[in-house]
């Protein structure tokens, strides 16, 4: 320095330490309900101090420091000295700064209290009317080990119910299981009621399978009402072209392997008929159990219930594509020779219709004797009992392969244009068109409730509602599905079962 004096560094260091201790001491002596304003560490009067805390005022204390105090005696500074609160009633600072009550609590007299209708169980406030762990009282826990079930607390009582409301809990609440009594074969209609072998549970009643389909995979498949597979028959060596079913659940098949077979409700073969000399295209069964078949050998054959041939009709000049039978045992056949023929139960020709002018691919008869035909040219016709045309529908864009009719007179058609159509049986007007298939539709059938079943080149069987909406799609076949038949059989042959 210019004056030549030497400064003792130790003296300066000691002075800094002493000043720091004085500041710490001043802070430790301040009121715990007050806050020191850091902006003005030293003050002379209260006017030197200020605060923005609502409900608070700033002043200069005896240590010449600005402090902040709540104006009201019953409030203290909390939240880092930025809020004046009444710890007697503040939900966020109940009984002390930072002591927050839970969502189900409120602060009263510095204690967190449960809301009305809630009960304190341990550290939590719960509604014992609905709380699973404290149902009716603290620590009463609702549980279940049942498969598909879930526990609930309702008005303080433990309830055990199936998670799916359409199901029913069978057995003990801890070891039981939930089942759909409408469709479960071991619990059909009621818990523990098992369906016998060869039947399925259909809307709470044990019954035979409702649908049968045959296809290019040489398989006959039985299908339950919800579209699930039941049994598979593998006896044929070539594709199955036609399928029929009777009210007792017996199924009849026509195959490209030249055979007709009868299969029992369990899927086992009853008999095999080898009378045809070429592929068999279609099959039908009447109310007395007689079976009728038509094939590429241009014949129609009647087979008795034991599988023996009764007669052969040989008047067609080309392949027989369809055979149907009415309630009186009259047979109607459709052929590539462009004719439809009515054959008596004794095997004699009654009449021949040549009105179609093209191959007749599909045929069906109703209980009143009206006949419905489908042709290669895409036309659908309604004929009277003498074979005379009543009306004609030409709305399809390709050949019509099959036709079906229900007890209300509605007509259903399956076409190569990949559509299924519902027609008014009185005048042939179209009601709706179903376009859910992606390829040609080979066959169509209808059940007594008006649900429609279809077989298609896209490999699926579909169930369609009476309004034309898809209900389900079955895709277990590995190729084209050529034919479907629905229990209890056609309306024309079995009107008493509709």
Residue 430 in domain: yes
Q: How confident is the model at residue 198 (pLDDT cuts 50, 70, 90)?
A: low
pLDDT score for 230: 83
233 lies in the same domain as 199? no
pLDDT score for 7: 41
132-153: average pLDDT:
94
Evaluate if residue 203 carries a pLDDT over 80.
Answer: no
Residue 102 in domain: no
Residue 23 in domain: no
356 lies in the same domain as 471? yes
Per-residue model confidence as pLDDT tens digits over 444-476? 999 998 999 999 999 999 999 999 999 999 999
pLDDT score for 41: 61
More confident residue, 266 or 191: 191
181-207: average pLDDT:
86
Q: Which of 128, 158, 179 is the last residue of a domain?
A: 179
- The pLDDT > 90 percentage for the chain reads 66
Range among 81-85, 123-127, 295-299 rated most confident: 295-299
Residue 196's CB is within 10 A of a number of other CB atoms, namely 7
pLDDT score for 21: 37
Per-residue model confidence as pLDDT tens digits over 475-484? 999 999 999 9
187 lies in the same domain as 250? no
Per-residue model confidence as pLDDT tens digits over 166-180? 999 999 989 999 999
Q: Which of 49-63, 227-241, 331-345 has the lowest mean pLDDT?
A: 49-63
Residue 252 in domain: yes
More confident residue, 436 or 72: 436
Per-residue model confidence as pLDDT tens digits over 396-428? 999 999 999 999 999 999 999 999 999 999 999
314 lies in the same domain as 416? yes
296 lies in the same domain as 327? yes
116-120: average pLDDT:
91
Q: Are 150 and 165 in contact (CB under 8 A)?
A: no
Residue 10 in domain: no
Q: How confident is the model at residue 112 (pLDDT cuts 50, 70, 90)?
A: very high
Mean pLDDT, the chain, as a whole number? 88
173 lies in the same domain as 194? no
451 lies in the same domain as 306? yes
pLDDT score for 315: 96
Pairwise CA distance, residues 222 & 262, whole Å: 14
Q: How confident is the model at residue 312 (pLDDT cuts 50, 70, 90)?
A: very high
Q: How confident is the model at residue 5 (pLDDT cuts 50, 70, 90)?
A: very low
Residue 3 in domain: no
Q: Which of 170, 194, 209 is the last residue of a domain?
A: 209
Q: Are 118 and 111 in contact (CB under 8 A)?
A: no
160 lies in the same domain as 293? no
- The pLDDT > 70 percentage for the chain reads 91
277 lies in the same domain as 140? no
Show the tokens assigned to 206.
């044990």
pLDDT score for 200: 74
Residue 247 in domain: yes
Report how many domains make up the chain: 3
32-36: average pLDDT:
48
Q: Which of 140, 159, 179 is the last residue of a domain?
A: 179
266 lies in the same domain as 158? no
105-114: average pLDDT:
92
The gap between the terminal CA atoms of the chain, to the nearest Å, is 125
222 lies in the same domain as 259? yes
pTM of the model as a whole: 0.65
197 lies in the same domain as 140? no
Q: How confident is the model at residue 357 (pLDDT cuts 50, 70, 90)?
A: confident
More confident residue, 398 or 11: 398
365-381: average pLDDT:
93
pLDDT score for 494: 81
Q: How confident is the model at residue 36 (pLDDT cuts 50, 70, 90)?
A: low
pLDDT score for 35: 53
Strands 291-295 and 211-215: what pairing?
unpaired
What is the 3 state secondary structure string of the chain? Answer: CCCCCCCCHHHHHHHHHHHHHHHHHHHHCCCCCCEECCCCCCCCCHHHCCCCCCCEEEEECCCCCEEEEECCCCCEEECCCCEEECCCCCCCCCCCCCCCCCCCEEEECCEEEECCCCEEECCEEECCCCCCCCCCCCCCCCCCCCECEEEEEECCEEEEEECCCCCEEECCCCCCEEECCCCCCCCCCCCCCCCCCCCEEECCEEECCCEEEEECCCCEEEECCCCCEEEEECCCCCCEEEEEECCCCCEEEEECCCCEEEECCCCCEEEEECCCCCCEEEEEECCCCCEEEEECCCCEEEECCCCCEEEEECCCCCCEEEEEECCCCCEEEEECCCCEEEECCCCCEEEEECCCCCCEEEEEECCCCCEEEEECCCCEEEECCCCCEEEEECCCCCCEEEEEECCCCCEEEEECCCCEEEECCCCCCEEEEECCCCCCEEEEEECCCCCEEEEECCCCEEEECCCCCEEEEECCCCCCEEEEEECCCCCCCCHHHC
CATH code of the domain in which 368 resides: 2.130.10.10
256-267: average pLDDT:
95
Residue 171 in domain: yes
Residues 6+ positions from 392 with CB-CB distance below 8 Å: 379, 380, 381, 382, 428
Evaluate if residue 4 carries a pLDDT over 70.
Answer: no
Q: Which domain holds residue 448?
A: 210-497
């Amino acid at each position: 320095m210019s004056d030549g004096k030497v400064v003792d560094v130790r003296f300066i260091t000691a002075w800094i330490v002493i000043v720091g201790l004085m500041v710490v001491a001043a802070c430790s002596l301040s009121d715990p309900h007050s806050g020191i304003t850091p902006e003005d560490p030293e003050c002379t009067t209260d006017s030197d101090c200020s605060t923005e805390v609502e409900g608070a005022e700033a002043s200069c204390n005896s240590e010449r420091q600005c402090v902040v105090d709540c104006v009201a005696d019953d409030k203290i500074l909390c939240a880092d000295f930025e809020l004046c609160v009444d710890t007697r009633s503040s939900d966020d600072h109940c009984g002390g700064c930072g002591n927050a009550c839970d969502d189900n609590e409120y602060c009263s007299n510095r204690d967190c209290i449960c809301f009305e209708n809630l009960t304190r169980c341990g550290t939590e406030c719960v509604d014992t009317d609905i709380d699973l762990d404290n149902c009716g009282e603290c620590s009463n826990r609702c549980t279940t080990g049942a498969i598909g079930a879930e526990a609930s607390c309702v008005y303080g009582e433990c309830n055990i119910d199936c998670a799916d409301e359409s199901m029913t809990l069978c057995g003990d609440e801890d070891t039981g299981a939930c089942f759909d009594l409408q469709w479960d074969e071991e619990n059909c209609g009621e818990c523990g009621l098992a369906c016998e072998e060869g039947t399925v549970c259909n809307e709470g009643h044990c019954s035979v399978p409702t649908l049968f389909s045959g296809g290019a995979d040489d398989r006959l498949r039985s299908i339950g009402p919800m579209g699930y597979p039941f049994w598979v028959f593998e006896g044929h060596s070539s594709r199955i072209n036609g399928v029929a079913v009777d009210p007792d659940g017996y199924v009849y098949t026509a195959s490209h392997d030249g055979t007709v077979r009868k299969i029992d409700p369990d899927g086992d073969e009853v008999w095999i008929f080898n009378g045809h000399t070429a592929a068999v295209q279609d099959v039908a069964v009447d109310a007395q159990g007689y079976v009728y078949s038509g094939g590429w050998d241009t014949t129609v054959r009647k087979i008795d219930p034991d599988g023996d041939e009764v007669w052969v009709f040989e008047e067609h000049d080309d392949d027989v594509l369809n055979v149907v039978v009415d309630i009186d045992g009259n047979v109607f056949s459709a052929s590539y020779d462009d004719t439809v023929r009515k054959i008596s139960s004794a095997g004699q020709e009654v009449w021949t219709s040549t009105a179609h002018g093209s191959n007749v691919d599909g045929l069906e008869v109703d209980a009143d004797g009206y006949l419905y035909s489908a042709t290669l040219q895409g036309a659908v016709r309604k004929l009277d009992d003498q074979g005379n045309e009543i009306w004609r529908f030409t709305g399809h864009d390709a050949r019509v392969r099959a036709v079906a009719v229900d007890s209300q007179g509605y007509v259903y058609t399956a076409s190569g244009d990949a559509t299924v159509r519902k027609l008014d049986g009185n005048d042939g007007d179209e009601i709706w068109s179903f376009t859910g298939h992606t390829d040609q539709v080979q066959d169509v059938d209808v059940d007594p409730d008006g649900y429609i079943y279809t077989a298609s080149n896209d490999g699926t069987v579909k169930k369609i509602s009476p309004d034309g909406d898809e209900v389900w799609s079955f895709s277990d076949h590995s190729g084209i599905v050529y034919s479907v038949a629905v229990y209890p059989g056609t309306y024309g042959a079995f009107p008493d079962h509709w």
